[in-house]
Structure 1
Amino acid sequence: MIVDYQEITDFSKILIYPSGRKFYEKEQPEIIKKTNDFLESFTDVKFYFKFEYDRFLIFFIAEDTPLGLEQNEKIIEFIQQLEKDYKVSLIDKIKVFFKQGAYVQVKEVPDFKKMIKNRSITKKTIVFNNFISTKAEFDCCWEVPADESWISHFFK
């Protein structure tokens, strides 16, 4: 079931599925509807769902209704089906997602390192940390300067 954001506590689990490409405008309402319908099908787990920057599917799971193995498998199957339906990668979190101006970009790690070397990326470039695991981390640390992120060691 879907609940209000206020019902999601700081220690609630979060799952982030970053898309390797921006979803097209015509795809977005369909993806949001499919995701909301899917999450509503859970009667024993409380979710809050965000669709950010036209490419991140973010599931917040209320702390008082943790996911069991079966529910987790259902989510993975749903995400894999979205990958097939829209020909995107949503489970690959190793790519670097970052902001360049008003746009979210994605690069493989070696390409991102080259951009640092070429000074296209600075320590202040905003990077997305898709490895966070709680709402509190999301609120403070999902979008951070590169030198405070999981790729900070690339600047040394």
Structure 2
Amino acid sequence: MNISLEKILPADFSNRSRVWIYQSSRLLSMQEALTLEQLFADFVQNWKSHGTPVKGYANLIFGQFIVIMADESQAEVSGCSTDYSVHFIKQIEKQFNIQLFDRQMLAFFIKEKVELLPLSQIEYAIEKGFISEETIYFNNLVYTKQELLENWMIPAGKSWLGKRYFKTETSHS
């Protein structure tokens, strides 16, 4: 995968901009992606926090991840504006018949494409060599634009999976 997020994300957004990533249960088609473009434009145009427009961004990345970003340097995102974005994502789930809130499905970049794997199958996948410490893992819990740029796509061994599943043995003298 040779894609630079810097070219996709808006340069005029603060690196401290809040980020939400929603992982789709399947790859979306080109037609669905085109439909989403208009939905994203409408969402961003109407996104407000206590009546003040939110400087927002929404995009589909790799055909499988919806990234929503709010630059809070102009208006902080309130509970109501967060609820509005969650409601928007739930509408997308219904319209496209996908799941966007399943945190038990983990995403990896394997053989030049995004692969989803249930958390319950991680140990098996490691044991069989499908996933290694170097396999790229999508860390959807990043919180800011800076974290998205630096820590979204990371080797599995450098994520929380490293501590839990890739325990390296240390020699004892």
- TM-score normalised by the chain length of structure 1: 0.92
Q: Which has the larger radius of gyration?
A: 2
Alignment of 1:75 with 2:85, yes or no, is yes
Alignment of 1:147 with 2:157, yes or no, is yes
Partner of 2:62: 53
Q: CA RMSD in A?
A: 1.4
Question: How many residues matched?
Answer: 153
Q: CA deviation at 1:141?
A: 0.5
Alignment of 1:31 with 2:41, yes or no, is no
State which of 137, 141, 144 in structure 2 corresponds to 1:131. 141
Q: CA deviation at 1:133?
A: 0.3
State which of 104, 108, 116 in structure 2 corresponds to 1:106. 116
Task: Decide whether the 8 Å contact of 2:107 with 2:138 is kept in 1.
Answer: yes
Q: Percent of aligned positions with the same letter in both sequences?
A: 25
* Distance of 2:134 and 2:156 partners within structure 1: 6
Task: Decide whether the 8 Å contact of 1:129 with 1:150 is kept in 2.
Answer: no
Unaligned 5+ segments in structure 1 are none
Report Cα offsets for 1:60-104 as digits up to 9, x if no partner: 110212211111111111111111111111122332100012110
Unaligned 5+ segments in structure 2 are 1-8, 168-173
* Distance of 1:123 and 1:71 partners within structure 2: 38
* Distance of 1:79 and 1:92 partners within structure 2: 13
